[in-house]
Amino acid sequence: MRRIALVALVVIVAAGVAAIATGSSGGGDPYYVRAIFDDASFAVQGEQVRIAGAPVGSIAGLGVTANKQAAVTLEIDDLRFTPFHANATCAIRPQSLIGEMYVDCEPGTAAAPELQRLAAGPGAGDYYLPVTQTNSPVDFDIVQDIYQEPITQRLAIILNELGTGLAARGSDLNAVIHRADPALGNTDQVLKILASQNRALAKLATDSAAVLGPLAQQRNALADFIVQANTTATASAARASDISRSIQLLPGFLRQLKPLMADLGTLADQGTPLASELRTSASALGREFTELTPFATAARTSLIQLGAAAAKSQGPLVNTIPLAKQLNQLGTQAAPAATTLDRLTASLSKTGAIGQLMALLFYGTSATNGFDSLGHYVRDELLVSDCTGYATSPVPGCSANFTETSGSADAGATAASDRAAAKQAASNRALLSTALAGDAIAKNTAAPLQRLLGYLIGPEG
């Protein structure tokens, strides 16, 4: 059955190629030739017309003339091989050993005039090719049958009768023999080829018997296949131009596909060791997946419980949305105060206030922690100077700002330093008031802190 399918596929492909070749020929109306043959043999309508082996058309119709000759109408679709000239010739030749025929034509040379058109009668409008320029085939089975009884005896009788009937028509018989000479020469060549292939033919006959037996049992399926193949061939012929275009694009596609196939080959070569190792570890992977089943079963229960817990926690999470909004609002409102506080702490760090405050606490603690045999006592020293009294305006030489001054600076430099210190103190107090303005607790502690900073920073300027 595989061989039958292969043969059928070859037949379908050949039909498709023929349809493509016919459909892709030049446009225009077909060129019709009415060729006269002594015998059309087994030629049927639809068989191919070839020129130099290439299909150019088909047999459009068959008829019989008044002189009992075969009139074959040739439809030439490929107009590149037209017109036919007066020295054109056509011959019916066997296409295969199963009896199929085709018409092999030679359109002639341009030096000769074109064929004449029939003005009236059968085939009016077609170009006329007379019987003198055609050859009819001699079928192989006819030649072979003359060696078998009773065909030999009947042939002898026919020859005797022909001798009597052609006694007065020697010229007509001579013309027929001359026209049949090419066919006889071709038949002789066919017989020589068949003789050289007798073993192959014998094997073909044996294989055919082996094939035809099962084929006869499946004749219904074969008949359906032929019907479907005919439908496919008809559809292919209708799309002949598209199929032809696809075949024209195929070489470019193959050129683009070649690098990809090379890369795939390289990938396959490189992937072979990996595939071998995967094959080796396949059993271990199988065991791992098998052992994974109990874990998946236990995890299913955990996931179900996790889903239930998520469903229960959905309400509380939704209820936290107002709190999150309040926190977001608090953070938005606290951003300016945090920025101001950052500037305040940066200013205190830059002027050394924090370090001086720590030193004050350290030395103050040390001064109050005196101890002797009698117990604890407070160390104290009374200092009286021009800077002892409280003043609301800057006193030259009495600045309490944390700035470094030189002992040799003059009075002008001291005054400038005092003004700068007073300006910095005012800025620090403003920063602190802004930082503490947005909080209730900070408002309650603002006054003590301001008094402490006033003592550390100095009086307002």
pLDDT at residue 363 in the model = 76
Assess whether 306 and 332 both reside in one domain.
Answer: no
Assess whether 43 and 179 both reside in one domain.
Answer: yes
pLDDT digits (tens, 9 = 90+) for 21-80: 444 445 578 999 999 998 887 788 999 999 988 999 999 999 999 888 999 999 999 989
Assess whether 92 and 149 both reside in one domain.
Answer: yes
Assess whether 308 and 329 both reside in one domain.
Answer: no
Q: With a cut of 70, say whether residue 135 has pLDDT above it.
A: yes
Assess whether 114 and 171 both reside in one domain.
Answer: yes
Q: Which residues of 167-192 are buried (b: 16+ CB within 10 A; e: fewer)?
A: eeeeeeeeeeeebbeebeebbeeeee
pLDDT digits (tens, 9 = 90+) for 191-207: 788 888 888 878 887 88
C-alpha span between 95 and 416 (Å, rounded):
124
Q: How many residues does the chain have?
A: 461
- Non-local CB neighbours of 392 within 8 Å, separated by 6+ positions: 459, 460
Domains: count for the chain: 4
Confidence of residue 222 (pLDDT cuts 50, 70, 90): confident
Rg, Å, the chain Cα set: 59
Q: With a cut of 80, say whether residue 232 has pLDDT above it.
A: yes
Q: With a cut of 70, say whether residue 15 has pLDDT above it.
A: no
Could you tell me if residue 55 is inside a domain? yes
Confidence of residue 368 (pLDDT cuts 50, 70, 90): low
Confidence of residue 172 (pLDDT cuts 50, 70, 90): confident
Q: Which residue has the higher pLDDT, 269 or 145?
A: 269
Could you tell me if residue 165 is inside a domain? yes
Residue 193 to residues 270, 309, 365, 396, Cα–Cα distance (Å): 52, 91, 132, 138
- The mean-pLDDT minimum among 37-51, 66-80, 86-100, 168-182 falls in 168-182
3 state SS of 36: strand
pLDDT at residue 20 in the model = 45
- DSSP states of 43-100: --TT-EEEETTEEEEEEEEEEE-TTS-EEEEEEE--GGG---BTT-EEEEEE-STTS-
Could you tell me if residue 20 is inside a domain? no
Structural domain that includes position 210: 29-216
Could you tell me if residue 332 is inside a domain? yes
Q: Is the dihedral of CA 14, 19, 24, 28 positive or negative?
A: positive
Q: With a cut of 50, say whether residue 18 has pLDDT above it.
A: no
Assess whether 425 and 314 both reside in one domain.
Answer: no
Could you tell me if residue 391 is inside a domain? no
Assess whether 244 and 304 both reside in one domain.
Answer: no
HSE (side-chain half, CA atoms, 13 Å) at 15: 20
- The mean-pLDDT minimum among 325-339, 357-371, 408-422 falls in 408-422
In whole angstroms, what separates CA 159 from the centre of its chain? 73
Could you tell me if residue 449 is inside a domain? yes
Mean pLDDT of the chain: 77
pLDDT at residue 377 in the model = 67
Stretch (H or E) spanning 377:
strand 375-377
Q: With a cut of 90, say whether residue 356 has pLDDT above it.
A: no
Assess whether 249 and 311 both reside in one domain.
Answer: no
Q: Choose among 41, 241, 35, 37: nearest CA to 127.
A: 35
Assess whether 309 and 354 both reside in one domain.
Answer: no
pLDDT digits (tens, 9 = 90+) for 152-167: 777 777 777 777 666 6
pLDDT digits (tens, 9 = 90+) for 310-344: 888 888 888 889 988 888 988 888 888 889 988 88
C-alpha span between 386 and 395 (Å, rounded):
9
Assess whether 312 and 333 both reside in one domain.
Answer: no
> Where does residue 438 rank: exposed (0-12), middle (13-18), buried (19+ CB within 10 A)?
middle
pLDDT at residue 380 in the model = 64
Could you tell me if residue 403 is inside a domain? no
Could you tell me if residue 86 is inside a domain? yes
C-alpha span between 141 and 94 (Å, rounded):
12
Assess whether 201 and 349 both reside in one domain.
Answer: no
Assess whether 156 and 207 both reside in one domain.
Answer: yes
